Chain A
Amino acid sequence: MSVCHTRFFFHRRLCFFFSLMASKPQRVHQFAGTSVPGSTKKRRTMTTDCSMSDGFVKYADYLNGLNEKRERVVKASRDVTMNSKKVIFQVHRISKHDKDEVLEKAEKDLASVTDLYMSRLVKELQGTDFWKLRRAYSPGVQEYVEAATLCKFCKSGTLLSLTELNASLLQLSDPSVEPLQINVLDYLLGLGDLTGELMRLAIGRISDGDLEYAKRICQFVRDIYRELSLLVPHMDDDTEMKKKMETMLQSVLKIENACFSVHVRGSEYMPLLGSSDQDFSVFGMPNFDP
């Protein structure tokens, strides 16, 4: 959803950019018109220009380097997002009978995301880059946090902590390079998304007849929501997180209501519930028809 949104935004900005470009030639023309007085004037401009442009050559190098790096980080982040999503899909394939195999495959996929794609981020980011380029890699890292915590929950029913997660990333870089450490903000934003996935999982479990599991998820999500509600006001930029908190509350309610329905109406309600909530598995598809 957010990717689509930014792309649309970009497009609009590009349009703006082109309209500027279109009005440019005329103005350039004016410049040429006023600076007519002779070629020598131009030569003089060039010579004095030199001292000024010396500095600008450096700035240009810096900006080029930075933009290229940002581009690479964005690409790496996108790969992390894409492949983390695949892990999440894999987790959702869980059913009563093949839980272990499905999870095992999901974990293997996650490990390869770490080795193949997170490692590319690690290579790019050094020193101040972690914060400077955060916006370029944050979406990928959030998705990764989501996938990793989801796997962990399904396996052991606990929350993968930031410390554990960062420890698992340490092995990616050789000791000479600064290791990639996921920051608190991205971790929390990732957890914000995790609850949505857990909601889908819970609904799936209920339709599969596994009410106990759904109840466990419900309690887990409630706990996360409660804990996060204390943290959110302290986050650097909490607008994104506030939105996630609202969605999170909706997820909690959905799970609670589903549990309630099954609890009250008994097993005859189950097939119906299963079919009505099928839509949840079609992630984000509505975004593609503008």
Chain B
Amino acid sequence: MSDGNVSPPPPSMPPEINGSASMEKQFKGLLAQLEESGAIRERIKSVVMEIESAARAMHSELLLVHRSLPVPEVLEKARAQIDVLKDLYRRLSDILRECPGQYYRYHEDWRSGTQTVVSLIAYLHYLEMGSLLTHGQTEEKLGLDASDFCLDIEDYLTGLCFMSNEMPRYVVNQVTAGDYDCPRKIMKFLMDLHASFRMLNLRNDFLRRKFDSLKYDLRRVEEVYYDVKIRGLVAEDTIKDQTTESQI
């Protein structure tokens, strides 16, 4: 303290005052930036809430498939929600167009909702066509333009795993309703899906855990298939089909 005046005097009083004034100014600017992105986030969140509610509506329509054998009207009603979703995603991409390059800044906000949407659309697609909805087809159905607002591939893949979670229950109820061939078809579909997923080098993250759940879905479907087959409930022609196959 006694030799405090020895210290070199880089910023004495005046620059310091200037300093804190310029500091205040810069922080005002940063606050404005943060408020702006906060406002964008609020808008995104409100659209995402609508997306989630449309997804719930679609899901509840799809739950009717457990009641009976496939009825076209059930699927028709579920399909109607896709247009609603398409419109909502258009609004989402309109908001994102205001802040180019920041898709992943807000990604968390729509991530889980989008995964659910993918799972429902892919599920519906399987029920209609018996095949897997590709990433490109999903973007198309939702009216997404990859340059603008893409569907993140990891979200798509997670959605597929969610879809497979629906399958065991579907299989069980189809068999109860009298469709004994359903387990075989779905088992094959899930086996293909499982084999395809194994081509991916997954990190030890959420998607990886979801992929593990796919394995359990497959096992459950296999059990149902086994139960049906061992009791001789599988339709005659498919059994014949298989035995001739195994003879070749």
A interface residues (Cβ-Cβ under 8 A, vs B) = 13-14, 17, 20, 27, 30-31, 34-35, 37-38, 40-41, 44-45, 48-49, 51-53, 55-60, 62-64, 67, 96, 99-100, 127-128, 130-132, 134, 155-159, 161-163, 184, 187-188, 209-213, 216, 219-220, 223-224, 227-228, 230-231, 234-236, 262, 266-267, 270
Contact = CB atoms under 8 A, between A and B. Distances in A.
Given A37-B245, A158-B22, 11 more contacts: A45-B191, A56-B200, A63-B200, A127-B101, A128-B101, A130-B101, A131-B102, A132-B104, A161-B26, A162-B30, A184-B34
Contacts of B101: 127-128, 130-131
B71 interface: no
Contacts of B8: 99-100
B146 to A, nearest CB: 12
Contact of B15 (A59, A157, A211, A223): A157
A128 B104 contact: yes
Nearest to A46: B195
Interface residues of B, number: 69
A100 to B, nearest CB: 8
A221 to B, nearest CB: 11
Contacts of A210: 4, 7
B1 A209 contact: yes
B166 interface: no
Contacts of B203: 67
Nearest to B20: A223
16 contacts: A13-B204, A34-B225, A41-B242, A45-B191, A52-B132, A52-B193, A55-B134, A67-B201, A134-B105, A156-B10, A157-B15, A158-B18, A161-B22, A231-B27, A231-B34, A267-B1
A212 B131 CA distance: 75
B8 to A, nearest CB: 6
Contact of A60 (B20, B191, B201, B222): B201
Interface in B173-208: 188, 191-193, 195-197, 199-204, 208
Rank and list the top 5 A-B pairs by shortest CB-CB distance, nearest first. Answer: A38-B246, A157-B11, A131-B104, A132-B104, A234-B34
A56 B197 contact: yes
A127 B201 CA distance: 24
B136 to A, nearest CB: 8
Contacts of A38: 242, 245-248
A34 B30 contact: no
A75 B22 CA distance: 35
Contacts of A53: 195-196, 199
Contacts of A31: 191, 218-219, 222
Contact of A131 (B1, B35, B105, B199): B105
B85 to A, nearest CB: 22
Nearest to A215: B4
A55 B22 CA distance: 54
B246 A156 contact: no
Given A38-B245, A156-B11, A212-B7, A14 B204 contact: yes
Contacts of A56: 196-197, 199-200
Nearest to B19: A158
A234 B33 CA distance: 10
Contacts of B34: 184, 231, 234-235
